[in-house]
Structure 1
Amino acid sequence: MVYINDKEVSKKELNRISKRIVENAETIEDLQKLSDFRAEHSKIIKSFVWSLRSIINNKKIKLSNNRNSIIISQRLKRLPSIIGKLKRFPELRLGRMQDLAGARIILPNIKDTEEVANYLKNKVYKQKDKNNFLFIREKNYILEPKEDGYRSIHQIFKYQGKKEKRLEGYQIELQIRTKLQHQWATSVEIIDSIKQQSLKTGGGDIYYREFFKLSSKLIEYIELNKDISEISKELDRLRELNREFNILKTLSSLRVITKRLEEITGEGYLILILDYKGNSIRYIQVPEENISRDYLMYEREYKEDTNNVVSVSVENLKNLRKAYPNYFLDAREFVTTIGKYINNTEE
């Protein structure tokens, strides 16, 4: 049994909604329940992020001295992403989806990512009933990168219901990645957005897939201080792809300018409407209690449009551009990183 707006909803009902979505037979009521269920996770992800910040500030965890550069952010999964995932994995059900709410921590280097990942799973959240959250499992895509080159550590945590008993068992996902891994991942999302690719889900043009896979290998060598000359053939191929398809030039020519974003203050969430054709971002501040209704309203309003609708926590506004450079089509750091090694820093 789960709760939506304080009302009990059976997992069988969520399963039926999942099935109707896969069959393209969902109703407006189904989407509202989905949005309400997603919004319930905002209560626990907020608590989780608060605890993460406390942990990072705790001197017991051994991190590099550059703690001020660490970025922690949170988001609620976009409706098109939820629907797309259900259709890619027809056996998956809403009640078992682990990333309806997610947090991300971006750290300076590999050593810090390993330290944080091990500290969370082996010390802070290891014991049942001790804290608000319990570590469930981990996928280490740094040790074993995905086929497309994606590298990060994913951890799943379960809420133990110490403060919100009715939400006991809800799961959230934490992504732990380095700054360079973040540059790579957000650049992939930018190409997906502006070139109508699907690289993030395993699709897209073969030359983009090859370029990003090779650039991930380069980043791995940079981060691990390996001898770059060992991948000279890969670098040559990166140069060829870049010359032929102008990938770095395309990325460096993009930018969305948004004014007065830093002036927003207060509690709640921020809904961003990303209009890449108009080179603009519209933002709406929403109280936490209204996030389900308003998020779904804007997602439905722009359903047939090229605009993307996303929701982030207002607490992250200070570092919003750093946490989500893809929203601003800002791949400058990735272009600089890769360009330095293929002698083609196209600014």
Structure 2
Amino acid sequence: MSAGWISKTKVGKAGEALTSPLSSSEDRAAALAVVNYWREIHAEVLQRALEDIEGLIAVDSEVLVAGRIKKLSTIVDKLGRADAPFDLQTMYDIAGCRLVVPDLEALERVYSEIADLPAFDAPKTGRHDYIAHPRPSGYRGRHAILHYCDLVCNHKLFVEVQLRTVLQHAWATSVEMHDVAVKSRLKFNEIDNPAGRFFKKAALLVAQLEERGEINAGAIRDLADGRPELPCAIEAVKTLKAANDAVYFLPDDANEDVADYYLVDLIADEQTLELTPLDSIAALSRYFEEEGADRDGERDLVLTKGSSKEKLAKLYPNYFGDISDFVKLIEKNLDAFA
């Protein structure tokens, strides 16, 4: 479908059709083709954003950078939430870049460089400072929105850039791993439960370490409203350790150090991981094909761009089963959760 052109109005209606219980199977099939067209043309803007960002931070080897095209299942889920964007065409993170930096000082430096890019969209970025205003779950980081107009597809498209410190990233990926392990939705702020309260306190612990260099256990305990929740913290750590110790397998065809794209394919219930290098021509069609084959929703598929296998493991530790540093941090400070 990439050879044609589809209006944003039609894209918006396709998003509605995918989430409406009244849509027929024919409606859904037509809508899926439009949505995949929309995702496909975001490959161009993702490439532009990565080139701009890497041009700024090329000399800084401590900054990890990768990009991804948003999963179809995540798009459908997001459109169905109460806080959903107006429609698919106003979802600014179809293409996304992730940057992981050593600390808050580096984060602010890199953010200021990104803010000087011609593509930086200040009005749309303003509400995405999740360090000054953390999400209800405790998530912290800074997001920036870039926009590009002079594209082959003749649309104005956006890219969301996530900036996280190493500790913020460890917290966020631990949440994702916990969600996969127990089928929870903490990442989406469904946090009125013991695990949600644990991670919110863990987020405050991380913030204290980064901002002050020390931990105020009393302030962390205060988040429990007087409820002793050490057993909940121990249970969450147990879940994370079990997930972290799971066995994953990389296939023989993932021997290249760097590829245009990598298709990450996690089947959590089977504890297997496949990592397939793909060139830019085959990447999107293979990604959409594999998504379509996953009729039971058992696979967690991510198409990433702009990173080596080594960096990919650091950027997506929830897929590679390595959140040991976060677990050690919590175990060292369990008294703060008593």
The TM-score normalised by the length of structure 1 is: 0.84
Contact 1:5–1:40 (8 Å) recurs in 2: yes
2:114 pairs with 1:117: no
CA drift of 1:91 comes to 5.8
1:102-113 aligned within 5 A: 102-113=96-107
Q: Which residue of 2 aligns with 1:303?
A: 295
**CA distance in 2 between partners of 1:167 and 1:256 (Å):** 45
Q: Which residue type is aligned with residue 73 of structure 2?
A: P
**8 Å contact 2:49–2:146 — kept in the other structure?**
no
1:80 partner amino acid: S
Contact 1:242 1:248 (8 Å CA) reproduced: no
1:166-192 alpha-carbon deviations (Å, 9 max, x no partner): 345110100011000000000010111
Cα distance, 1:291–1:30 mapped onto 2, change above 3 Å: farther
Deviation of the 1:165 alpha carbon: 4.5
Matched residue type, 1:241: E
How far off is 1:204 after superposition? 5.0
Q: Secondary structure at the match of 2:270?
A: coil
Task: Output the amino acid matched with 2:114.
Answer: L
Match of 1:318, SS state, is helix
CA shift digits 1:269-300 (9 cap, x unpaired):
22222111211112333332333332222112
The one-letter code of the counterpart of 1:135 is D
- In structure 2, how many angstroms separate the alpha carbons of the residues matched to 1:230 and 1:271? 41
Cα deviation 1:173-230 (Å, max 9, x = unaligned): 0001100000000001011111000111121561011000000001110001255236
* Aligned counterparts of 1:49 and 1:29: Cα–Cα separation in 2: 31
Q: Please report how far the alpha carbon of residue 84 of structure 1 lies from its aligned counterpart in structure 2 after TM superposition.
A: 0.6
Deviating more after overlay: 290-299 vs 136-145: 290-299
Equivalent residues in 2 for 1:1-347, closer than 5 Å: 5-24=2-21, 25=23, 26-58=27-59, 67-88=60-81, 89=83, 92-121=86-115, 123-125=116-118, 133-136=119-122, 137-138=124-125, 139-161=128-150, 164-203=151-190, 206-225=193-212, 227-229=214-216, 231=218, 234=221, 241-244=229-232, 246-254=235-243, 255-259=246-250, 260=252, 263-265=255-257, 267-313=259-305, 315-342=307-334
Deviations 1:76-109 (A, max 9, x none): 1011100011111566222211000100110011
Measured after TM superposition, the shift of residue 72 of structure 1 is 0.6
Structure 2, unaligned runs of 5 or more:
none
Q: CA deviation at 1:311?
A: 1.2
- 3-state DSSP of counterpart to 1:315: coil
What is the distance in 2 between the residues matched to 1:156 and 1:184? Answer: 23
SS of equivalent to 2:51: helix
Structure 1 runs not aligned, ≥5 long: 59-66, 126-132
Q: Distance in 2 between matches of 1:303 and 1:276?
A: 16
| Closer/same/farther in 2, CA of residues 110 and 304 from structure 1, 3 Å limit | same
Task: Name the amino acid aligned to 1:93.
Answer: D
Question: 1:130: which partner in 2?
Answer: none
SS of residue matched to 2:68 = strand
- The percentage of counterpart residues that share the same residue type is 24
Q: 1:74 to 1:224 in 2, by over 3 A?
A: same
1:6-58 deviation line (CA, Å, top 9, x unaligned): 31211221122111112142422321221121121112212211221221135
Q: How many residues are matched?
A: 323
How far, CA to CA, are the matches of 1:292 and 1:46 in structure 2? 13
The one-letter amino acid paired with 2:6 is V
Aligned residue for 2:229, secondary structure, equals: helix
TM-score normalised according to structure 2 size: 0.87
1:262 Cα deviation from its structure 2 partner? 5.5
CA distance in 1: counterparts of 2:214 and 2:258, whole angstroms? 48
Letter matched to residue 113 of structure 1:
L
1:273 and 1:310 in contact (8 A); partners too = yes
Could you tell me how far 1:232 is from its partner in structure 2?
Answer: 5.5
- Alpha-carbon offset, residue 68 of structure 1: 2.6
Work out the CA distance in 2 between the residues paired with 1:205 and 1:290: 42
Q: Indicate if the aligned counterparts of 2:100 and 2:166 stay in contact, CA closer than 8 A.
A: yes
The whole-number CA distance in structure 1 between the counterparts of 2:14 and 2:280 is: 24
Q: Report if aligned partners of 2:170, 2:323 keep a CA contact under 8 Å in 1.
A: yes
